[in-house]
Amino acid sequence: MNSILNKILLIEDNPGDARLVREMLSEINDPTFSFDIECVTKLSTGLEFLAQNKVDVILLDLSLPDSHGIDTFFQVYKQSPDTPIVVLSGFKDETLSIEAVKNGAQDYLVKGHVDGHLLKRSIRYAIERQGVERELLESKQRYTRLVQMVPDIVYTIDAEGTFTFVNGAIRNLGCEPEQLVGKHFSAIMHPEDAGLVNRSKALARYRDKSTGTKEIPKLFDERRTEKRKTMGLEVRLLRNKANGSDNEYVYFEVNASGLYSKNIGSEDKVFLGTIGIMRDITERKQTEAAIQQMAFYDAVTGLPNRTLFRDRISMSLAHIQRESGMLAVLFLDLDKFKLVNDSLGHAVGDQLLKTVADRLANCTRKGDTVARMGGDEFTLLLPVIKHKGDAEEVAEKILEKISHPFVIDGHELTVTTSIGIAMYPADGADIDTLLKNADIAMYYAKDAGGNNYKHYTKMLSVKVSRRMVMENELRQALERKEFFICYQPQINVSTGRIVGVEALLRWQHHELGLVFPSEFIPVAEGTGMIVPISEWMLSAVCVQGKAWQSAGLPAVRLAMKLPSHVFQWRSFMETINRVLQETGMSPSLLELEITETAAMRNVEVTATRLSMVNALGVKIAIDDFGIGYSSLSCLSSYPIHTLKIGKSFVQGISTNPHVESIVKAIIVMAKNLKMNVIAEGVETRDQLAFLKEYQCEEAQGPLFCKPELPSIVEKMLSQDTSFFRA
């Protein structure tokens, strides 16, 4: 066994005691223990030696010529704090020696009561203990550095829940470790979470049979260890912001375990507190929330989407079936929303949807759900109602709120909605049936003119099924070439000769037969098919007009009704330009009719587009004049060539003096504005006589001719037909 040379510094002023120490050391017969001893008699000499040399142990007498008492120890300890010190004291100085041990000395020996064996053991143990303490200190320093480097918050709390240690990662919460030590953990925790994870409160709830709680709670002040310890506890902690702005709560995940010590000589453990690690999971929670938002909420309006709405209905049905109650599903569709998108763009359309969503949310009761199903369709779930009148009350409130004008990006928009209502259990017992029947009722409300609500009835299914067939078939009607055009002559009331024709669209469906515009045009507008259909019709009318021109027939005006969706369409002007160029139709013979209501919508846009149409040489007519609410100042500033008196006014001639006065006023106003006037829907000679008397230049209607195929109209033109008898 190798011998270890131990360097010993003896600081002793008594020569006899110094000699005795040397003799005792020399008598030690241990091949593993050898020594090299240096002896000094003064403290100053010893301190000087220690400043220049390293020793393994110091044997120190506290009573020296230049120092006495405990101060002697302190000076040596200060000079060489890492070297073990064994105090040599007289019997009377034992109290001082004990104090030295308490302050860092490894041991003390009483002179006169020491032999070589005891001295060797004391020196060896002092060196070994110092080594162990050094290793422990280094280990503690490594542990401390490691703990301080960890980005997670490491903490310990005592049995009362008070922090006893927190690492530097706590600064991520805007506070220093020393600010938190001594405070209860609830000081940094969201009040709601503090009550859930506090040991006494959580266990009290767990033991309370009335709560029905079966899951063992996760605790912040955990006492359990091993497999039963708390793992993955999510809590919200307070973050103090340095810039003075409002503080915030952020999410942390906690893993915690009880901390125990054992009593010497006993198997009993003493609970010291809790040790835990807290990891910031705020970013993860934000990502989860974003995924949740994308999965269950609409990106435009922030409302629940179709998936979440179905889930809400499912839960409500499960509850209401147990209670034998009622619920209602409302299906909403904005009337003519596509017109907003086509004329003002999707950015304005999306903003309108957001504002509509806000208004819908303000119409609901606590517990109701508003969702966006897609496009301009919304749904409402009324999970608790007593009778269908409750659903009607909500529907009426929605109609009233939505009817108020919207101001979006400088545009004042008026929008209405059609609402369908389906009731549980009368109109369906499952999700799909309720949604389908509410949708059917909504279509019926829309067919009735919109801006109203309808309850589902079984009779509606038959009507709406035809509409749904029509929706699907409309998309293929152009490809199948099922559309055709009839032309109704417009005659001069003085000569009876044709001065123009109005193009009227017809649909010869391969199964449904002849479908009139009053039935399929609203469907085409609702599905957006009105745009490609109108494009086709414009092209067909211009091709026909060019053919009649080329055949040398009398030059007559060709009029075509322009749906408001198409007039507000952004590519409207390019389409007209292209069709005129492709067909070679003379622009001066083309007249486009728009309704009075369409003319008054978005006045600035309308004025610009009408001026562009006029610049092409194309004529413009206002259809069904007098039915809408036009502004005379706007009317006079528009480049309008013709006013058409609506059929409802013409039918009042000879039967309603009030209507006759309106017709007279329209004719006089048009003449003053240098506009042409056409009366629509003339059926009787009395009506014709009235129009002649008040100098209405032109008329059309069944009195003269019903809409006819192009070949028949062509024959009339070639024969220069007059509809008046000579």
* Tens of pLDDT, residues 243-300: 656 778 999 999 999 988 876 566 678 888 999 999 999 898 888 888 888 888 998 9
Which tokens sit at 312? 């809400």
- The whole-number pLDDT of residue 635 equals 67
Asked whether the CA dihedral 450, 456, 457, 461 is positive or negative, the reply is positive
**Is 55:86 a contact under the CB 8 Å cutoff?**
no
Closest among 383, 382, 335 to 356, alpha carbons compared: 335
**Is 563:505 a contact under the CB 8 Å cutoff?**
no
User: Looking at the DSSP assignment, which residues form a beta bridge with residue 424?
Assistant: 327
- The whole-number pLDDT of residue 135 equals 77
User: Looking at the DSSP assignment, which residues form a beta bridge with residue 297?
Assistant: 304
Read off the pLDDT of residues 180-197 as tens digits, 9 standing for 90 and up: 999 998 889 898 888 777
- Stretches in the chain below the pLDDT threshold 70: 1-4, 91, 204-215, 242-245, 263-267, 462-466, 565-570, 601-602, 626-636, 725-726
C-alpha distances in Å from residue 128, one per residue of 4, 57, 72, 78, 122: 13, 10, 24, 20, 10
Q: What does pTM read for this prediction?
A: 0.50
**Is 670:676 a contact under the CB 8 Å cutoff?**
yes
Closest among 350, 340, 342 to 414, alpha carbons compared: 340
- The whole-number pLDDT of residue 541 equals 95
What CA–CA distance (Å, rounded) separates 592 from 597? 15
Q: Is 285 helix (H, G, I), strand (E, B) or coil?
A: helix
What CA–CA distance (Å, rounded) separates 222 from 600? 72
- The whole-number pLDDT of residue 632 equals 58
**Is 108:98 a contact under the CB 8 Å cutoff?**
yes
Q: How many helices and strands, by DSSP H and E, does the chain display?
A: 26, 28
- The whole-number pLDDT of residue 634 equals 60
Which tokens sit at 158? 């005592």
What CA–CA distance (Å, rounded) separates 675 from 628? 18
Sequence-separated (6 or more) residues with CB below 8 Å from residue 625: 596, 643, 644, 645, 646, 666
What CA–CA distance (Å, rounded) separates 80 from 85? 9
Closest among 699, 566, 707 to 644, alpha carbons compared: 699
- The whole-number pLDDT of residue 360 equals 94
Quick count: other Cβ atoms within 10 Å of Cβ 127? 19
Quick count: other Cβ atoms within 10 Å of Cβ 320? 17
Quick count: other Cβ atoms within 10 Å of Cβ 5? 9
Which strands sit side by side in the sheet containing 326-335, from one edge to the other? 369-374, 377-385, 326-335, 416-424, 453-455
**Is 231:255 a contact under the CB 8 Å cutoff?**
yes
- The whole-number pLDDT of residue 726 equals 43
